[in-house]
Amino acid sequence: MPPARPLAKPEIPIVTSFAELNLLPEEQLANLNELGYTAMTPVQEAALPAILAGQDVRAQAKTGSGKTAAFGLGLLQHVDAAQFVTQSLVLCPTRELADQVAKELRRLARYMPNIKVLTLCGGLPFSVQRDSLIHAPHIIVATPGRLLDHLNKETVNLDALKTLVLDEADRMLDMGFAEAIDQMIAHAPEARQTLLFSATWPKAIAAISARIQRSPLAIEIDSVDELPAVEQQFYEVARGRKITLLQQLLSKHQPASCVVFCNTKKDCQAVMDALTDSRQSVLALHGDMEQRDRDHTLVRFANGSCRVLVATDVAARGLDIKGLEMVINYELAWDPEVHVHRIGRTARAGEGGLAISLCAPEEAQRAAALEEMLHMKLSWQTLPAGTSVVPLEAEMATLCIDGGKKAKMRPGDILGALTGDLGLNGADIGKIDIHPIHAFVAIRAAVARQAWKQLQQGKIKGRAVKVRLLK
């Protein structure tokens, strides 16, 4: 494992396994095993002992390095479930990231009885959140803007706060949250532990750290050391030929899941249109999309209803997309660091992946800079001329059902309706995601239309429901 620098201060023990952390309750170790967390990631190894000892920590580590569990396991140790006051607060830049963090915290807290984790983000009515806040949650995961609304209206109280976490701090600053963060800090007690996580470390982050942290332990995990698990291939190609090459590469590799990174929204759109035309299962993710469309896109990509996601860096940052088989850089990133973040997504927590980069001659300098930074010779490949383009079809399709958490819809209700009354085979039903007002069901594409028609006429929990087949 790559070394963390600088090393933890001497009074903090150096540990190399979760077992040595003596986490409570004892079942936590079994829980981590069940989650497949058998060894600590480098950032966890470097940060957890200090976090458990109550020290402030600021850590820079790339996306996918396990930062959530690093602060999550730490803050959970400091939460007293018997005290019904808010003891931990995690700030995230977007609702998606907040949802992901809350989900991970709940998984980590599975063996801790009655820990209430609440997310507070825009996009949901304030009044609904105010009602959930009548009984203070132990842990709040929030975006800065919405949290500040609650603090100003005194629906959230941070007087008993023990741990404050800023996750993806660089992105929060990019999104203009610096002031909201400063205002929020005024509501938090002085005696608290502050943890700051960021993928990059611009000056503005150092400044925030200086303002809100007390002699933090600084951790920097060298992302370059973690590269070998990703196989990188480079293709030289004229700009005007990139789309064809991309279509051919997708045809050749047939990835179950692939993210294509573009530097601009315009390229995103062009790639999306071309792949749609060649019937290669594709959706786009870019900054201009409405939250609802982003949610739908991510659900469909994660549940196998879409094989290729075309995205800009900003839109895709921080998203924990599981089991990505392949990443394609439609154009080299301007910054080698960004390149490393992109390709790191196919080798999450140690699993190998393939990263292909398409380079036009005018990107030669960027390729040279990359070669220097990675200390490796780029592996240039060619594809036989005339490699054919074949459709890439998704295995699943998604039904979107009106009625989610608020309507107390549960996966079992939907599964029951589909397999019981409608007689679908359980094997044809995939992931079921319950969102606040919608539920999403992945259905094997071949039977999706039939299931959709039947469900429109059928019932769930004794009630007729509105259903759409997303395409």
Q: Which is nearer to ligand ADP, 96 or 335 (CB)?
A: 96
Q: Which is nearer to ligand ADP, 150 or 348 (CB)?
A: 348
Binding mask 336-355 for ligand ADP (x = CB under 6 A): ------------xx------
User: Residue count at the site for ligand ADP (CB under 6 A)?
Assistant: 16
What's the min distance (Å) between Cβ of 258 and Mg ion?
A: 22
Q: Which is nearer to ligand ADP, 22 or 450 (CB)?
A: 22
Work out what residue 69 binds among ligand ADP, Mg ion, none; the CB cut-off runs from 5 to 8 Å by kind.
ligand ADP
Which residue bears the tokens 């201060």?
A: 9
Strands (E), 419-462: 429-434, 438-444, 459-460
C-beta of residue 235 within 8 angstroms of C-beta of residue 253: no
What's the min distance (Å) between Cβ of 67 and Mg ion?
A: 5
Distances (CA, A) of 463 to 110, 323, 352, 451: 32, 36, 46, 17
Q: Which is nearer to ligand ADP, 235 or 301 (CB)?
A: 301
Using CB under 6 A as the binding rule, whether residue 376 contacts ligand ADP is answered as: no
Work out what residue 242 binds among Mg ion, ligand ADP, none; the CB cut-off runs from 5 to 8 Å by kind.
none
The token pair at 63 is 């996306």
Contacts of 68 (CB under 8 A, 6+ apart): 100, 101, 104, 105, 167
Distances (CA, A) of 291 to 45, 46, 368: 35, 35, 38
C-beta of residue 313 within 8 angstroms of C-beta of residue 330: no
- Pick the stretch among 37-45, 186-194, 266-274, 382-390 that binds ligand ADP (CB under 6 A): 37-45
What does residue 441 show for φ and ψ, rounded to 5 degrees?
-125, 130
Q: Out of 99, 320, 325, 335, which residue is the one contacting ligand ADP (CB under 6 A)?
A: 320
Using CB under 6 A as the binding rule, whether residue 69 contacts ligand ADP is answered as: yes
| Reduced DSSP (H G I as helix, E B as strand, rest coil) percent helix, strand, coil of the chain, to 5 | 40, 20, 40
The token pair at 31 is 């829980």
Q: Which is nearer to ligand ADP, 41 or 194 (CB)?
A: 41
Using CB under 6 A as the binding rule, whether residue 194 contacts ligand ADP is answered as: no
What's the min distance (Å) between Cβ of 295 and ligand ADP?
A: 18
C-beta of residue 147 within 8 angstroms of C-beta of residue 120: yes
Q: Which is nearer to ligand ADP, 66 or 137 (CB)?
A: 66
What does residue 396 show for φ and ψ, rounded to 5 degrees?
-115, 165
Using CB under 6 A as the binding rule, whether residue 64 contacts ligand ADP is answered as: yes
Q: Out of 67, 146, 150, 341, which residue is the one contacting ligand ADP (CB under 6 A)?
A: 67
Q: Out of 8, 21, 23, 41, which residue is the one contacting ligand ADP (CB under 6 A)?
A: 41
Element housing 59 (H / E): strand 57-60
- Pick the stretch among 62-70, 110-118, 214-222, 243-251 that binds ligand ADP (CB under 6 A): 62-70
Q: Out of 66, 144, 336, 353, which residue is the one contacting ligand ADP (CB under 6 A)?
A: 66
Q: Out of 4, 40, 218, 326, which residue is the one contacting ligand ADP (CB under 6 A)?
A: 40
Work out what residue 36 binds among ligand ADP, Mg ion, none; the CB cut-off runs from 5 to 8 Å by kind.
ligand ADP
C-beta of residue 332 within 8 angstroms of C-beta of residue 370: yes
Work out what residue 232 binds among Mg ion, ligand ADP, none; the CB cut-off runs from 5 to 8 Å by kind.
none
Strands (E), 181-333: 193-198, 217-221, 230-236, 258-262, 282-285, 308-312, 326-329
The CA distance from 1 to 87, in Å, is 33
Work out what residue 349 binds among ligand ADP, Mg ion, none; the CB cut-off runs from 5 to 8 Å by kind.
ligand ADP
C-beta of residue 396 within 8 angstroms of C-beta of residue 430: yes
CA-wise closest residue to 286 among 258, 304, 265, 270: 265
Q: Which residues bind Mg ion (CB under 5 A)?
A: 67
The CA distance from 433 to 431, in Å, is 6
Q: Out of 28, 68, 77, 297, which residue is the one contacting ligand ADP (CB under 6 A)?
A: 68
What's the min distance (Å) between Cβ of 86 and ligand ADP?
A: 22
Work out what residue 320 binds among Mg ion, ligand ADP, none; the CB cut-off runs from 5 to 8 Å by kind.
ligand ADP
Task: Please give the residue ranges that form the binding site for ligand ADP (CB under 6 A).
Answer: 36-37, 40-41, 44, 61, 63-69, 320, 348-349
